[in-house]
Amino acid sequence: MSTVVIVVMIAVFLVVVAAVLAIGPGKGAGRGGLKRRFGPEYDRVVARHNGDTKAAEAELGERVKRHGSLEKRPLSVEARERYVARWAGLQEQFVDSPQQAVAEAEQLLGALARERGFPAAEDYEEQVSALSVHHAAHVNGYRALHGSVKGEGGTEELRTAMLEARGLFGELVSTKSHDPERARTGEEKAGERGRSKVLPVRRHVKGSGV
C-alpha cells in the first residue's frame, strides 16, 4: 500500500471521528435531535433556563445519559385491566371529589410508572426526568397533577390536569403481551373503560355554593 493511500485513509478516518464528536454521544444528541426527541418538553426546559438553549440542552442531554437505556418492564393483561378500572373509577369520583380524585390519580400514575420500570414516585424529580425521556409529549400531564395536588388551581385546573395526565396514563398502560390475542382484548377494554372517557361535569345547583 502506497504512502499516499495511507495518508488519504488516515484523513478520512479523522473526518469521520470529527463528525461523530460533533454529533455527540447516542441517538438524539445535538440540538436538532433533542428538539425532535423532547418536542414541547424541549421548549419548556429552554423557557425554564430563560432562553439559554445551551444550558437547556445540557440538562436534556444529561437526562438521556441517565435514562435513555431504560428498558420498560412489560405489564400483564391483568395488571393493565386493574389500572384501567381504577383510572375509570377516579374519573367518576372526580364529579364529587375532584381534589381527592386528582391526588389518587397522581399516586396511581406513580405506581404504574414504577411497575413499568421507572424510578419510584418517592423520588418525584427523578421519576419525571426518566418519564420525560421516554414520554416527552405527555409528561407535563403528570406535572399538572402534581401541581394540582399541592393546591395550585381550582376545579377547572384540576379537570385540565386529569385530562392532560390521561395521555401519559394511556401510554404507560398500553403494552404488548406475549399473548397477542389477550393483549388486543385488554387494549380494547382500556379504550372502552378509560382512555376515551370524558370527565363528567358537575352541574351547579342554584342557590348552592358548588
pLDDT tens-digit series, residues 79-101: 999 999 999 999 999 999 999 99
Among 44-53, 60-69, 175-184, the minimum mean pLDDT is found in: 175-184
Strand spans (E) along the chain: none
Closest CA to 200 of 86, 83, 89, 80: 89
What residues make up the domain containing 94? Answer: 77-195
pLDDT at res. 192: 46
Q: What is the pLDDT of residues 104-155, one digit of tens each?
A: 999 999 999 999 999 998 999 999 999 999 999 999 999 999 988 877 668 8
Query: 186 with 87, same domain?
Result: yes
Residues ≥6 apart with Cβ < 8 Å to 5: none
Domain check: are 49 and 148 in the same one? Answer: no
Q: Last residue of a domain, which of 69, 99, 122?
A: 69
Residue identified by cell 400531564 is 141
Residues 6+ apart with CB under 8 A from 94: 101, 102, 158, 159, 162, 199, 200
Single-letter amino acid code for the residue at 61 = G
Q: Does residue 189 lie in a domain region?
A: yes
Query: pTM for this structure?
Result: 0.67
**Burial class for 96, CB neighbours closer than 10 Å (0-12, 13-18, 19+):** exposed
**Residues 63, 36 share a domain:** yes
